[in-house]
Structure 1
């Protein structure tokens, strides 16, 4: 009887230790963004936000855009929506390995891996000149430094759509309100207004 109680006690201790280690390993990829200078937490886009992004792009230009990039792509829902909306290519840039693997697996299982690609990369070091459509769910502290990076790298054809936070310059168009609001900036606006700051 005493041995049985001791066995149960040891079992509970081992379960607690291994369970704690397992949870820590799973949580690390989601918590490490908070340790970076410009933390970009994983917060999935809502259906309304997705609709606002692609409605705004359609309102801005009827021209077929060729290559969208989502900076901090998380589980890839903006990239997958871009494929549904007719983009020939869509790329997600993300640091979190777990989210990258999840998005790649989803692209593979839905036969979209030729259109939807996911790269593990630091957005501050990634060259943005090859994309004509850039989307990001930023945080307040990163908007001004990112604006400077974009003004040096984007092409004349590029547009940038920001969600939740806007750049500290005048936008060209906007759709939605509150946390679902999205703002569009064309390359000329970004370059001209960034020079004034």
Structure 2
């Protein structure tokens, strides 16, 4: 009887240890962004935010957009929405390995692997010059450094749409309010930036 109790106790201890280790391994990709200089947490876009992004893009741009990139693409919902809205190609850039694999699996199972690509990359080291549409859900601390990066890399006739936070310059168009607000900047506005006083 005592041996059976000891065996059950030992089994529970092992279960607790392996469960704790497993949970820690799963949580690491979601917790480590908080340790980076510019923490970019995973917060999925709402339906209203998606609608605002693509409504603003349609209102502003007469040019047919060819290739969208979503910086910090998370589970890929902006990339998938982009191809549903008629863009021929869309790419997601994400540092979180788990989210990249999830989005790739979704692209594969939905038959969109060739038009929806997901890359595990650091957006600060990634070349953005080949995209005509750039979308990002940023955080306040990254907006000015990212603006400087874009001013050197952005292609002619490209547009940048920011969500939740805007660049510290005047935008060309905006739509929505509060957390659902999005701002659009064209390449000329970004290159001729005049940082606004806070």
TM-score, with normalisation over the residues of structure 2? 0.97
DSSP 3-state at the match of 1:92: strand
Report the Cα distance in structure 1 between the residues aligned to 2:196 and 2:16, rounded to whole angstroms.
57
Shift of 1:48: 0.5
Asked if 2 retains the 8 angstrom alpha-carbon contact of 1:73 and 1:93, the reply is yes
DSSP 3-state at the match of 2:190: helix
Q: 1:46 to 1:196 in 2, by over 3 A?
A: closer
Report the Cα distance in structure 2 between the residues aligned to 1:135 and 1:86, rounded to whole angstroms.
16
Asked if 2 retains the 8 angstrom alpha-carbon contact of 1:148 and 1:194, the reply is no
Residue 139 (structure 1) aligns with: 139
Residue 55 (structure 1) aligns with: 55
DSSP 3-state at the match of 1:168: coil
Whether 2:186 is the aligned partner of 1:182: answer: no
Report the Cα distance in structure 2 between the residues aligned to 1:44 and 1:139, rounded to whole angstroms.
14
Deviations 1:146-187 (A, max 9, x none): 000000000111100000000000011111100000000001
Shift of 1:196: 8.5
Residue 72 (structure 2) aligns with: 72
1:101-180 to 2 correspondences below 5 Å: 101-180=101-180
Runs of 4+ in 1 over 6 A off after TM superposition: none
Report the Cα distance in structure 2 between the residues aligned to 1:142 and 1:195, rounded to whole angstroms.
14
CA RMSD of aligned residues (A): 1.2
Residue 36 (structure 1) aligns with: 36
Shift of 1:194: 4.3
Asked if 2 retains the 8 angstrom alpha-carbon contact of 1:68 and 1:82, the reply is yes
Report the Cα distance in structure 1 between the residues aligned to 2:56 and 2:196, rounded to whole angstroms.
26
Report the Cα distance in structure 2 between the residues aligned to 1:92 and 1:194, rounded to whole angstroms.
29
Shift of 1:191: 1.0
Q: 1:170 to 1:196 in 2, by over 3 A?
A: closer
